Structure 1
């Protein structure tokens, strides 16, 4: 795998565990009662039962491969693992919600095991026909003895396949449309979502890498490929350029091209759209009892609690914000809307002709607000005002800035640029 593929993996890890465990990281928290929402591919029999779930995902994108290019494909997903605390009894072992042994608490909860399926295929083999890559993941049971109890971890077997194909684009510019389809072919166990998840591919996504050639952006393709890009069909995953144009992450979450992990992040916090500083500070506020429960909930939760508890002050400060680049701080050119940007425009000296009379700064006018005036301006009808400036807007419209002649605060308003504005047709020269 290329270095770019390793960079893509860092981003993919954040997606793989998106929502795996949500703050406050305790099994008793309401938000952790319903998990496994992203990129879930259910067994086909369950998905076909009107549940709204899918059993397969499809990603299509364009590429310009070299003649001898090979396509590296890495499917990644989580396999659900039930972790059950079982107490010894005269008739064997019986499951319980939790137990404390030797000062350590053990809690019944669901975990996940990370799985990867790798394949390397010559690109030329994908053009004539679809290439199927079947895979299986074994189930199993692991038992950890405890005093008067045991910790049982159980997994169901999984079965699926990756379907790869490529078709040349019609036209003089070349290029291919690549299709990557991931299918869960496991049998269903039970009729509820909780039961079906035991044989689901959770947070399923693929990494693609060309040994020669480049992929095209799905959101910003070159002009010649824009029509073909719009014809790509993506269902359940979205192609993102990562690292370089020879690597793509087919993600269950839509992201922009070239995403990166902020270097200030000390580790994964698993919470959706996580903000490291907020979650870190909130985790610090957990009580000792809450932290103890979080540690008993999941090994990854325990790692978060331990990391936050020992995070040095300088690393906490880094989470507060950073400057990604330094922009040019030299004196900028005056913007188009600045009165000084165009020497031909001068509100202090410009004039406008009203009823054959030039009106400029210092002119006395009688106000006669039009139909579009607001209530405040309507109350000023018939009042005498003094023009303080003549402004020109972006549509070449003229506006008179005035102060009321009998207003005792007129000089103060003028000093601060606080004017009333009327169109030339809304005044009568005096």
Structure 2
């Protein structure tokens, strides 16, 4: 389950905090955009957010097949920054000081802002056999009590400077599950999660305030024993119509785990493919799966000291993200630069080609490799220096390199027998990536776009 759990955690915290990872950023003032299930009273009063989430999928099995539903979500915790009302105010020996809510508080090198944190919730739902779920839905209510905690903030001399007050609201909800037989040995399972938290002033609440009573990043993990889930993305032809008839609202079920296993499904508020995986090169969660790890990592490292101070004080997750990013070594950074998988060759390619059908790469691989090339009457080879002169057909990236000195990494021929010169730019601090044939630092130019250099001319 470790691989499955890593995907669940990525879904759970998707969008939790976005670059530049600071509460003061406009980008982070609209929170909780994925998988929100709001109280019914608020949803019906405002009409803009759902109060239920529904998942339907197919399972092979029989009446004694056992299924379990493990819902999960984040509960929002409101964090307020408090300060003593005036410098030199005496802290009472008993009870709390007369706190004053402030928009920002500096304590030594740390900077604190009001923020909405989150705690993970997993209601306990007992497993059931399909025979028990046929007919009427089986309801399992859940509840989490509200509360408030105070964390004092002291400076390096041990003097109390302020505090963080964290408050969470009461939550109430229900998980309903039912089953219906749709074919011989095939059942449709329906899971419905509802937010039934009572609210007296639902119509007057802002969305930000209503988030305190919401089930955020709501999802479900479905397990089956004595049966097998059927892919909702790639069903067998005879069950395509039954899959199309399934009604999913706010979540989409995909198979998770090792490729080919069918005993675990994740109903995610983010549409995924079957058997999603976290990239092996990723050093940890960046809370933004739509971005590239390398870009976010470099941007974090380029932050000013004040920006990093604010990021570290946001909460423990962003503090750990900053510490992990700053600790990355050169080898780990190089892994973030890119990876190419399942390109060609191996058993996978042979399996999809008919017997005796030549590989589409055979003609290219059989062609003679170019050891040298004659340009402007001069012979150039791998390792020689050239100056780049992009022609009118060049794109903006090629034009940006106009006049730069580069080193020939290889001379290649394409399917149409055209010659291309692959180069690394000498002034590029990442040219080592280009020499390793990784994307982004290796550029291709035609023979008419390069000027051979020699001696002092090769100096950039």
Question: What is the TM-score when the length of structure 1 is the normalising length?
Answer: 0.73
The verdict on how the C-alpha distance between 1:294 and 1:334 changes in structure 2, with shifts beyond 3 A counting, is: closer
Q: Distance in 1 between matches of 2:79 and 2:299?
A: 27
The answer to whether 1:260 aligns with 2:285 is no
Q: CA RMSD in A?
A: 2.2
Do the aligned residues in 2 keep the contact of 1:88 with 1:94 (CA within 8 Å)? yes
Q: Secondary structure at the match of 1:136?
A: strand
Shift of 1:198: 0.8
Shift of 1:272: 4.5
Partner of 2:81: 85
Do the aligned residues in 2 keep the contact of 1:87 with 1:95 (CA within 8 Å)? yes
Choose from 207, 220, 228 the match for 1:206.
220
Greater share of strand residues, 1 or 2?
1
Do the aligned residues in 2 keep the contact of 1:160 with 1:186 (CA within 8 Å)? yes
Choose from 192, 196, 215 the match for 1:181.
192
Shift of 1:68: 3.0
Q: Secondary structure at the match of 1:111?
A: strand
The answer to whether 1:196 aligns with 2:210 is yes
Partner of 2:326: 309
Q: Distance in 1 between matches of 2:179 and 2:227?
A: 14
Partner of 1:47: 43
Please tell me whether Structure 1 or Structure 2 has the larger radius of gyration of its CA atoms. Answer: 1
Post-superposition Cα deviations, 1:223-265, rounded to whole Å, max 9, x if no partner, equal 2211111110011111111112111000111111111111111
The answer to whether 1:284 aligns with 2:316 is no
Partner of 1:333: 358
The answer to whether 1:234 aligns with 2:248 is yes
Q: Distance in 1 between matches of 2:167 and 2:213?
A: 12
Choose from 129, 136, 147 the match for 1:129.
136
Shift of 1:81: 0.5
Q: Distance in 1 between matches of 2:311 and 2:13?
A: 17
Structure 1 residue runs of 4 or more that deviate by more than 3 Å after TM superposition: 329-332
Q: Distance in 2 between matches of 1:149 and 1:133?
A: 42
Do the aligned residues in 1 keep the contact of 2:111 with 2:310 (CA within 8 Å)? yes
Choose from 3, 25, 29 the match for 2:25.
29
Do the aligned residues in 2 keep the contact of 1:215 with 1:246 (CA within 8 Å)? yes
Post-superposition Cα deviations, 1:341-376, rounded to whole Å, max 9, x if no partner, equal xxxxxxxxxxxxxxxxxxxxxxxxxxxxxxxxxxxx
Post-superposition Cα deviations, 1:138-197, rounded to whole Å, max 9, x if no partner, equal 11111112313221111001000100000111x4x3300000100000123542111111
The verdict on how the C-alpha distance between 1:67 and 1:305 changes in structure 2, with shifts beyond 3 A counting, is: same
Choose from 266, 279, 286 the match for 1:269.
286
Do the aligned residues in 2 keep the contact of 1:59 with 1:180 (CA within 8 Å)? yes
Partner of 2:175: 162
Q: Distance in 2 between matches of 1:328 and 1:203?
A: 40
Shift of 1:325: 4.1
Q: Distance in 1 between matches of 2:313 and 2:128?
A: 47
Q: Distance in 2 between matches of 1:102 and 1:280?
A: 26
Q: Distance in 1 between matches of 2:359 and 2:148?
A: 71
Do the aligned residues in 2 keep the contact of 1:82 with 1:109 (CA within 8 Å)? yes
Q: Secondary structure at the match of 1:152?
A: strand
Q: Secondary structure at the match of 2:125?
A: strand
Post-superposition Cα deviations, 1:10-29, rounded to whole Å, max 9, x if no partner, equal 11111111110000101111
Do the aligned residues in 2 keep the contact of 1:187 with 1:199 (CA within 8 Å)? no
Q: Any gaps of 5 or more consecutive residues in structure 2?
A: 90-96, 154-159, 351-355, 364-460
Q: Distance in 1 between matches of 2:82 and 2:255?
A: 46
Q: Secondary structure at the match of 2:126?
A: strand
Post-superposition Cα deviations, 1:299-356, rounded to whole Å, max 9, x if no partner, equal 2111111111111111111111224346328998386xx9xxxxxxxxxxxxxxxxxx
Do the aligned residues in 1 keep the contact of 2:229 with 2:263 (CA within 8 Å)? yes
Do the aligned residues in 2 keep the contact of 1:70 with 1:120 (CA within 8 Å)? no
Q: Secondary structure at the match of 1:92?
A: coil
Partner of 1:140: 147
Do the aligned residues in 2 keep the contact of 1:71 with 1:211 (CA within 8 Å)? yes
Q: Distance in 2 between matches of 1:50 and 1:289?
A: 39
Post-superposition Cα deviations, 1:90-120, rounded to whole Å, max 9, x if no partner, equal 7711111121224332222111111112323
Choose from 68, 76, 82 the match for 1:72.
68
Do the aligned residues in 2 keep the contact of 1:76 with 1:205 (CA within 8 Å)? yes
Q: Distance in 1 between matches of 2:359 and 2:298?
A: 43
